[in-house]
Structure 1
Amino acid sequence: MLRQPAFGHRLKKLRTAQGLSQTALAGEGMSTGYLSRLESGARQPTDRAVGYLAGRLGLDVADFEEPVTGSLAHALTLASSTGSADAIGALRAALAAEGHESAVLRWQALWLLARAARLQGDHTAERADLGRLVALGEEVGSAELRVRGLTRLARCLRSLGEITPALDAAVAAHRLALGEDLGVEDRAAALLALVSVQAEAGQVPEARVHADELAALVEGRTDALWAEAMWTAAAVRVRQGDQTGAQAFLDAALERFSSREDLVLWLRLRLAAGRLHLQTLPPDPARAEACAAQAEAALAFVGTPALRQDLTALKADLAFATGRYDDARALLGDLAGDEPRMTYRDRVRLEILRQQLLILGGDASGVEGLRTLAQQAQADANIDLAAEIWRTLADALAQSRPAPAGPA
């Protein structure tokens, strides 16, 4: 038996697929108002109405039954089990067509779609999915779903360089997780987002307090949540100039987190470690090179455009740090031909490297380029990144300044 609201939804989909208006479909045998109520689910269809509409559409009555293979639940099951590009595409199409499914089911679909976009480095698409997901969490009224949506939104906005709204979302997620006394996973995830955004916003002391709270919360674990907590704690210590402490946290994650748990995270940890080895004083290119080699081997199994770009960027930094400036320029040229799949911060770092290479080549426009990047980062409230660029500019100017002449 055909029931509402599924019938109305299917009817509207079939009508619009043929490019018909409600008036055109209703014809002389049905009022437009009655058809509108059928499509909205306000009226239960009679056998006579169903037969009439089937004839007008040139279909069989059975065509009004939503095919199982086209349902959102079916598409969600396939996307969850395979994660393939085709399955994700089918899920997005099913979500767009399904307006009558439960809010929780649509939330699950959006969660998977946002995750798929994130893995591909498409943070703009991820933000659109997460915006809808946060609204659905509010509609459902589940504290857990609201916290998870806000947490992922905060991290996505941070990746896009939108620090002020990212901080708002992270603070809201953290307060809600504490206020509702949610489980360790939700509280830790909210703290992860909060710490990373606070650090980007230049609120490093606050980030350190929350990073220590996070480390204590996940103590004794060795799963993905713990590994991300160690990575985040290391990042905060880097910003405080505590290279030794940062290395200790990151080394713990590298040694104890298994690639069998999450190969993508395992790979990203090595990319992060490689960058840290280049930021230490003095830099350690040999260890950075080893991290890059491990990451490159893992790319054969989980390679995505975003991860490949991250590895190429690390190689460019490594080439610059070891004085292989032509190699650094060539690697930057390779990246310039691709659609960018990197975070805002990583894209800016590539621009910093380009400007440094210009200065080394005697092109004074690199100085103005660095100054513009720093000013833009400040305007975006990315205080930590702005400070990093100003330091780079000062170092570049000091290195390019001619040495004072000796006594005659």
Structure 2
Amino acid sequence: MLRQPAFGHRLRKLRMAQGLSQTALAGEGMSTSYLSRLESGARQPTDRAVGYLAGRLGLEAHDFQEQAGGSLTQALTLAASTGSPDAIEALRRALAAEGHESALLRWQALWQLARAARLQGDHPAERDHLARLVELGEETDVGELRVRGLTRLARCLRSLGEITPALDAAVEAHRIALGEDLGVEDRAAALLALVSVTAEAGRVADARVHADELTALLRGRSDTLWAEAMWTAAAVRVRQGDHTGAQACLDEALERFGSQEDLVLWTRLRLATARLHLEKLPAEPARAEHRAAEAEAALAFVATPALRQDLTALKADLAYATGHYDQARALLAALAADQPRMTYRGQVRLEILRHQLLILDGDPQGIQGLRDLAQQAQRDANIDLAAEIWRVLADALTPTAPTRHPAPPPGPLPAAAPTPPPAPLHTPHPAPTS
């Protein structure tokens, strides 16, 4: 039950948060004098008035209820310390009600909401939070906050396959980081986004230059930022066809980055390494399965919908690589029945595999489907992904050519083989080029 004066206080905060005058909020369905009495607590709200005002503000009736703890600061503290779904929902409601708070406090709240969405693989929600966060960064005019917002937005847009705006955000973050001579953390984060988006846009040579600059900047470290940099450097090398160099980068990250630093990233590194073993010529399915098993064991502690789907997709590719086509189909069907939480590239990879299986069945829709996927990737400016799809299509049209996933005779999936320790790395990191 909504009671005064709490309702009036909350109503006023919600109105001011959206920059509305009493006249603008009242509209044609309510007198300004009645709205003023509601805000002052002089009138008890009716259900009809609450419903009308909620509609005008784009909220739900429960958003007028007083928050437990009563402040954005408390909600932010709880969300940052627990990260539970209830705490994140309380933070969302507090932010809607406390929009008059300082831009810095609202920036922190949006950062937490975007992070929670990212961990769940909800990239559209993450993008919405980050877009508002970038606007607040401009309002604060704090260089570090501007760079951090743009960097995360660039990476989120890349995950959604929106390459052109992602590249714009990454370039701007890098420009600000250099122009304001920010610290290593922010310069490296901006470079990390720039490398990944530039590579996705097909500008692999530029991506390699920035990747070398990034690894040189973080030389000697072994933290989360460094591990992400090594993963990104490996991805660039894969795009250049340098699978040996990519393996060296990932092996170093696997050896030096501990699970206690960031178990989610530790798990993703193993999924990335497993996928690299499948992309080699010839493929190494036993090593891929070994890394996949390590990742699966970690999911008992960091299971999210996105991570589980990534692992299932990897298992489908592994089944295809080893000639277990029915198992690959079953895994694809399981993924299709779930709400997608994977990145744009991950979802396209599933479509590639689905069309490869159609081709095996002699279905002409497989060939046409790959053509459509490649053309769509080109229209989305996702040049690197388009090139990958055209290569798969070329393999499909040339049966005698070596395939990326040579299939042995069907049989049991290979047992996990121990991965030998990585060879010592003696190649020095190139010097920064900026």
- TM-score of Structure 1 vs Structure 2, range by shorter chain: 0.7 to 0.9
> In the TM superposition, what whole-angstrom CA distance separates every residue of 1:225-265 from its partner, at most 9, and x where no partner exists?
00000000000000001111100000000111000000000
Q: Aligned pair 1:378/2:378, yes or no?
A: yes
Give the Cα–Cα distance (whole angstroms) in 2 for the partners of residues 282 and 57 of structure 1.
74
Structure 2 matches for 1:289-300, cutoff 5 A? 289-300=289-300
Give the Cα–Cα distance (whole angstroms) in 1 for the partners of residues 262 and 14 of structure 2.
42
What's the counterpart of residue 54 of structure 1? 41
TM-score scaled by structure 2?
0.81
Alpha-carbon offset, residue 71 of structure 1: 1.1
Q: Quickly say closer, same or farther: Cα 1:202–1:69, change in 2 above 3 A.
A: same
Give the Cα–Cα distance (whole angstroms) in 2 for the partners of residues 156 and 121 of structure 1.
10
Structure 2 matches for 1:40-189, cutoff 5 A? 53-57=40-44, 69-189=69-189
Amino acid at match of 1:140: T
Q: Quickly say closer, same or farther: Cα 1:33–1:267, change in 2 above 3 A.
A: same
What's the counterpart of residue 195 of structure 2? 195
What's the counterpart of residue 304 of structure 1? 304
Q: Quickly say closer, same or farther: Cα 1:162–1:65, change in 2 above 3 A.
A: closer
> In the TM superposition, what whole-angstrom CA distance separates every residue of 1:286-339 from its partner, at most 9, and x where no partner exists?
110011100100000000110000000000000011111111001001100000
> In the TM superposition, what whole-angstrom CA distance separates every residue of 1:200-222 from its partner, at most 9, and x where no partner exists?
00000000000000000000000
What's the counterpart of residue 247 of structure 1? 247
Give the Cα–Cα distance (whole angstroms) in 1 for the partners of residues 73 and 37 of structure 2.
26
Amino acid at match of 1:380: D
What's the counterpart of residue 393 of structure 1? 393
Whether the aligned pair in 2 keeps the contact of 1:69 and 1:75 (CA below 8 Å) is yes
SS of the aligned residue for 2:260 comes to coil
Give the Cα–Cα distance (whole angstroms) in 1 for the partners of residues 232 and 112 of structure 2.
24
Give the Cα–Cα distance (whole angstroms) in 1 for the partners of residues 163 and 298 of structure 2.
31
Amino acid at match of 1:391: R
Q: Aligned pair 1:357/2:357, yes or no?
A: yes
Alpha-carbon offset, residue 32 of structure 1: 4.1
Q: Quickly say closer, same or farther: Cα 1:263–1:383, change in 2 above 3 A.
A: same
Alpha-carbon offset, residue 88 of structure 1: 0.6
Alpha-carbon offset, residue 70 of structure 1: 2.7
Whether the aligned pair in 1 keeps the contact of 2:8 and 2:41 (CA below 8 Å) is no
> In the TM superposition, what whole-angstrom CA distance separates every residue of 1:267-295 from its partner, at most 9, and x where no partner exists?
00001001001011111111100111001
**Between Structure 1 and Structure 2, which shows a larger proportion of helix residues?**
1
Identical positions, percent: 79
What's the counterpart of residue 269 of structure 1? 269
Give the Cα–Cα distance (whole angstroms) in 2 for the partners of residues 36 and 196 of structure 1.
52
Alpha-carbon offset, residue 162 of structure 1: 0.3
What's the counterpart of residue 417 of structure 2? none
Give the Cα–Cα distance (whole angstroms) in 2 for the partners of residues 35 and 355 of structure 1.
59
Alpha-carbon offset, residue 185 of structure 1: 0.5
Consecutive unaligned residues in structure 2, runs of 5 or more:
1-5, 46-63, 402-434
Q: Quickly say closer, same or farther: Cα 1:15–1:311, change in 2 above 3 A.
A: closer
Alpha-carbon offset, residue 12 of structure 1: 2.5
Whether the aligned pair in 1 keeps the contact of 2:177 and 2:187 (CA below 8 Å) is yes
SS of the aligned residue for 2:362 comes to coil
Structure 2 matches for 1:264-343, cutoff 5 A? 264-343=264-343
What's the counterpart of residue 55 of structure 2? none
Whether the aligned pair in 2 keeps the contact of 1:114 and 1:127 (CA below 8 Å) is yes
Alpha-carbon offset, residue 54 of structure 1: 3.3
What's the counterpart of residue 404 of structure 1? none
Whether the aligned pair in 2 keeps the contact of 1:9 and 1:100 (CA below 8 Å) is no
Whether the aligned pair in 2 keeps the contact of 1:121 and 1:342 (CA below 8 Å) is yes
Higher RCO by CA contacts (8 Å cutoff, separation 6 or greater): 2
Whether the aligned pair in 2 keeps the contact of 1:15 and 1:57 (CA below 8 Å) is no
Alpha-carbon offset, residue 15 of structure 1: 10
Whether the aligned pair in 1 keeps the contact of 2:202 and 2:384 (CA below 8 Å) is yes
Whether the aligned pair in 2 keeps the contact of 1:9 and 1:99 (CA below 8 Å) is no
Consecutive unaligned residues in structure 1, runs of 5 or more:
1-5, 40-52, 59-63, 402-408
What's the counterpart of residue 405 of structure 1? none
What CA RMSD, in Å, does the superposition of the two structures yield over aligned residues? Answer: 2.7
Give the Cα–Cα distance (whole angstroms) in 2 for the partners of residues 319 and 251 of structure 1.
24
Q: Quickly say closer, same or farther: Cα 1:102–1:8, change in 2 above 3 A.
A: farther
Alpha-carbon offset, residue 10 of structure 1: 3.0
TM-score scaled by structure 1?
0.86
Q: Aligned pair 1:259/2:259, yes or no?
A: yes
